[in-house]
Amino acid sequence: MSKRIMVVDDDKEVQEIVAFVLHCNGFEVISALNGKQMQKHFTEHYAQLPDLIILDVMMPGEDGYRIFSDLRCDPQTQHIPVIVMTAHTEDIYQRVSADLGAALHITKPFHPVELAEKVKVLLDGGQ
C-alpha cells in the first residue's frame, strides 16, 4: 500500500509539480489549496488521513504556520509529520518550523526530485 501525502499550497502550479513527482515515486497525493480544504478532506475521509503533509507557509487567509499549529493541537493529526515549504529565506522561518516540530523545512525554489528523495527517506527509510 502506497503512502498518502497531502500537499497544501495555494499555488496550483507548485501543487501539480509536487504531486506529479511524488506520484511518479509511488506515493498517493491529495492536494488542498488552503487549510479549509485540508480540514474538509480530514472530515470527509477520516479513515484516510495522510502519512505526511507538505505545507506552504504563505497562503491567503490562514498562513501555514497557523495551520501547522492547529494540526499539532488536534489529537487526530498531531502525529502526522509535516514538511514546511516557504519562499522566505530568513533564519527565523527555519526556527519557527523547527519549534513547531517540522520534519523538514524547505526553501522555495526547490528541486521536486530532491523533495521526493527527502520524502522517501522520511516515510520509507530511503527504500
Round to whole Å and give the CA distance between 76 and 78. Answer: 6
Round to whole Å and give the CA distance between 48 and 2. Answer: 12
What would the mean pLDDT of 95-106 be, rounded to a whole number? 94
Domain extent, residue 29, equals 4-124
Give the model's pLDDT for residue 47: 77
Q: What is the pTM of this model?
A: 0.92
CATH of the domain at 109: 3.40.50.2300
pLDDT in tens, 58-68: 998 889 999 99
Torsion of CA 91, 118, 44, 60, to 10 degrees: 30
Range 90-113 burial, b when 16+ CB lie within 10 A, else e: eeebbebbeebebbbbbeeeeebe
How many residues are listed for the chain in this entry?
Answer: 127
pLDDT in tens, 2-47: 899 999 999 999 999 999 999 999 999 999 999 999 999 998 887 7
Query: Count of domains in the chain?
Result: 1
**109 preceded by cis ω (within 30°)?**
yes
Q: Match 504531486 to its residue by C-alpha cell.
A: 19
User: What percentage of the chain reaches a pLDDT higher than 70?
Assistant: 97
